[in-house]
Structure 1
Amino acid sequence: MSQVPPEAERLLESDPLMAHLATCVDRRPHVAPVWYRYEDGVVELTTGGRKLENLRENPRVALSIQKDEGGDARWMVSLLGTARVVADGAESEAALARINEKYGASQDAYAENALVRVDVGSATYRTY
């Protein structure tokens, strides 16, 4: 069962917004924007480079997503979870297609990135 309240799930499943993924490197936070897809307590994203290295060293992550309109915040969701890199090629391709569809990107965009699934442990949200 998802640890994310139903209202927060609805927000996460709505618009194609950027998530800010926080990982840890050298005992300091490393935050970077990523595209994501949320379903049933799991966040799917694809990434590479420093973020991927960080996840492999320490799978504990945080994500922050916020919707703004005209410079005013409408809602925010913060998630804490555990990331795992998915090695299955077919699974990765299918997830990448779902993420790219959400953001209106071509099917081969970011094809070199690895699939990461974040199992959400806790969530907080607020609407304004």
Structure 2
Amino acid sequence: MGVSDEIERLLTSEPLLAHLATCRDGRPHVAPLWYTYDDGVVEVVTTGRKLANLRENPYVSLSVEQSTAGDPAWTVTLRGRATVVEDEAQFREANRRINRKYGAGDEAWEGNTLVRIEVGSASHRVYD
């Protein structure tokens, strides 16, 4: 199942936080993070509990929302499979892409690891 043009437009429209849901001991763990999206693949850099969870269970859900004062304009929900990428050069390049999207410098977030999420399904809702 591909990601629609509308969902791709929403995911790349502005620098918004994503909420990544992983699984730990059969229970959900959700955390906000920065991301990039391109052609069915989400890239994040992370560490700690999220990364440990992904190493144990690669199935994830990711949500992105654009809202003003808690009033949503749209939401996107993605589900997919994560791959931990241990390559330092790929990490640094992905980290630069993510930082540029959010207006941060090119400095790498030391201690983080690149994770690529292959989107398996996507849904969205636009609110009037």
Normalised-by-shorter TM-score class: over 0.9
Q: Matched residues in 2 for 1:25 and 1:106: separation? A: 32
Corresponding residue number in structure 1 for 2:13: 14
Normalising by the residue count of structure 1, what TM-score does the alignment of the two structures yield?
Answer: 0.95
Task: Indicate if the aligned counterparts of 1:96 and 1:111 stay in contact, CA closer than 8 A.
Answer: no
Task: Indicate if the aligned counterparts of 1:80 and 1:121 stay in contact, CA closer than 8 A.
Answer: yes
Corresponding residue number in structure 1 for 2:30: 31
Corresponding residue number in structure 1 for 2:50: 51
Q: Matched residues in 1 for 2:124 and 2:9: separation? A: 11
Corresponding residue number in structure 1 for 2:41: 42
Q: Matched residues in 1 for 2:13 and 2:112: separation? A: 24
Q: Say whether 1:120 aligns with 2:119.
A: yes
Within-5 A mapping of 1:48-87 = 48-87=47-86
- Number of matched residues? 127
Q: Matched residues in 2 for 1:89 and 1:14: separation? A: 28
Task: Provide the alpha-carbon RMSD of the alignment.
Answer: 1.1
Q: Secondary structure in 2 aligned to 1:15?
A: coil
**Structure 1: runs of 5 or more not aligned:** none
Q: Matched residues in 1 for 2:108 and 2:102: separation? A: 10
Q: Which amino acid aligns with 2:124?
A: Y
Normalising by the residue count of structure 2, what TM-score does the alignment of the two structures yield?
Answer: 0.95
Q: Matched residues in 2 for 1:17 and 1:106: separation? A: 17
Deviation larger for 67-76 or 34-43: 67-76
- 1:72 positional shift: 1.4
